[in-house]
Structure 1
Amino acid sequence: MVKQIWMESGQRLQDSLAEALKHKGEVVDFQLTPSAGYAAVKTPEGRVEAFVVPYSVDFRQPAPRAVRFGIQSERDNPRQAAAPQSFVERLSPAVADGDATWRQRCWAGMVDRHVALSVLRPGDVVMLAKEIESNHGRLRPDYYAVRASDHGFTVLESLRTGKSSLVHNVASDVVNVNLDPDPMMRLSQHPAVVRFGMQRVARNDEQEHYVLLGRSASGALVPLAKATGTEDRDFMLQRIWEVSQLRQESLRNLNGSPVYAYMADHGLADAVVEQGRGEEPVLLQDLKIEVTPLNPEQEVVYDGPGSDG
C-alpha cells in the first residue's frame, strides 16, 4: 500500500520516514539510500526487526515536497536489500525463512560491492598510494577519478586540478575509495570539513558521474560522496543541504554554550572565525615564543635517583 506524507522546509527526509514508522515501535536505527530507507524497529515485545521503506520524492520541487512511500517487513523478503552489514548485525535473530533470506541477500550485496571495488570503472574515486609515472610526468599521492580503464591502461583525472593523465598497470598502486550518494558516514569520519563543492568527473563516459568534495579549513581535500545519474545527484545535494541546515542551527545555539563562553573569556572567538575561513589566525601570527638557554657557566650536578640532591 502506497502512502504519502509532506516534507516541510528544513525537515530531514529520514526523520519524516522514521516518524511514519512510529506505529511499528521505537526506531533505533535508520539508514537512508537514494531509493529506500532501512529502519531497525524495537517492537513492543522487545525484538529489533527491520522494515524497508521504498520511497520517491522530487527534490527539485519547492517545499513542502510530497513523499510517496511504502512499508515492508523483512519477513516478506522485500526486493530492496542494500542494508549495510552494521545495520543487519544489530537486529534480533531471524525467526522465519523470509527475514533470514533477506539478511543473506544484504550480506551477498555487500560482498558484491567489495568485489566491484577491485575493478576500476569510469567515475570511481581512487587514492594513489605512492608516486607513479604518467604521460605527463610523475603523479603524487592524491585523490583521482577514473576516466577510462582498459587493457592495463588507465586515465586518471586529478580531483584537485582536473588534469587527466595516462598511466599503466596502476591497479596495485591505488586504493578504491568506497563512496555512495550519502555523505553522512564520511562526514562523521572527517569532522574538520567546512566547505563543500560538487565536481562532475569522467565526462567521456555515457553516464553522468558527480563527486561531492569537502575541504577543511587548512585546504585539505576529502571526497565525501559519489552520484551516478540525476536521481543520485539530487539525493546527494539534498543530504548536504540537510547538513548545512543542521550546522546553521548549531551556530544559532552557540552563544549560550560553554564552548562559546570559553572562547569569549579567553579571546579566541575571532581566531576560530579566521580559521574557519581558511586564514591563519592573527592570534597565532602575533604569538611569540621565547626560549631562554641554560647558562653555560651554571653547573648542574645529578647523581641519579638515589642522590640526596
Structure 2
Amino acid sequence: MTSISTATAGWLALRAPADDAARSPELAHELARMLTAASAPVVLHDLGAGTGSMTRWLAPRLPGPQRWVLRDGDADIVEHLDLGAVTDAGGRPIEADVVVEDLAELPIDAFHDASAVTASALLDVITRAEAAHIVAACVAAGTPALFSLTVTGAVRLRPAEAHGEVERALGAAFDDHQRRDVDGRRMLGPDAVAVTAGLFADAGWHVRRAATPWRLRRRDSALVAEWLDGWVDAAVEWRPELAEDAEAYRGRRQAQAAAGRLRVTVSHEDLLAWPG
C-alpha cells in the first residue's frame, strides 16, 4: 500500500456541509446501538482522518466517554485537525490521539482495542488488496466498521442538456479515471462499496448499505464550481480527445452554476459492517 492523501484542507472545508448533510444518520444510529454496551471509554479508530470531519459529525451521535485514534498518512493535513468543540452524545469532550501512518504499515492487530472503525471518502481511493487488509484487521478484532461517503459513479446534473452525449462521455471517462492505475495500484473507484461489502460478507459479517448523495443547489455554488472543474479535468485526463467538447460543456455548466441554476446530485454510499 501507499500513503493516501485526503486532499487539501481547503477542499475538505468546502465539501464539509454537503458531506454532513449526506451521511446516513440511520447507520450512525445502528452503530450507536451496537456500542451501548461497550466498555468505557468507547475507542474509535478513524482511517484517513483528514481534518476530523467524520469525528465531528459522528461523535455526538455515539455514547461515551470516547477516545478517538485518528490515522492518516498525510502529516500536513492532520495539522488542520479541529476537534476542540467535539463532544459525545452525553456532552462530554472527546479524547483524541493522532497516528501519522501509511496504510501499508497498518498492523493486522491495529484495532485490538477498538470499539469501532470508521472512515470517510476513503474506500474509492484504495485498491482491492488494501480494502481486504482493512477488512481483515476489522475481522481479526471483531470490530464493527462504518465507512461513509464512498462514490458510486452516478452523477446527475439539471437542467438536462438538449444533447447529453458529451456529458455521458465525461461521466464514463471520469469513472474509468477513478479506476486507474497509480504507481501500480488500481484504485477501486465506483466499485469500492460493492467490493468491500463482498469482503465482509465472505467473512460471514452482516452488511448494511445506505445511499448518501450530495444534493447540491444554489447555496452550494462554490462547491459545485470546484467539483465540476475536478470532474471535467479528470475525465479529460483520461480521454484527452474529449478536451474541446469538454471545455464548451464546462463553460455552459459554469455559467449555469454562477447564475444559481445548476443542480447536481453526486451519488455516494455509506457502509456498515459488523460480526455475524
Q: Give yes or no for TM over 0.5.
A: no
Place the TM-score, normalised by the shorter chain, in its bin.
Answer: under 0.3
Higher helix share: 2
Say which structure, 1 or 2, has more relative contact order (CA 8 Å, 6+ apart).
2
TM-score by length of 2: 0.24
| Larger of the two Rg values belongs to structure | 1
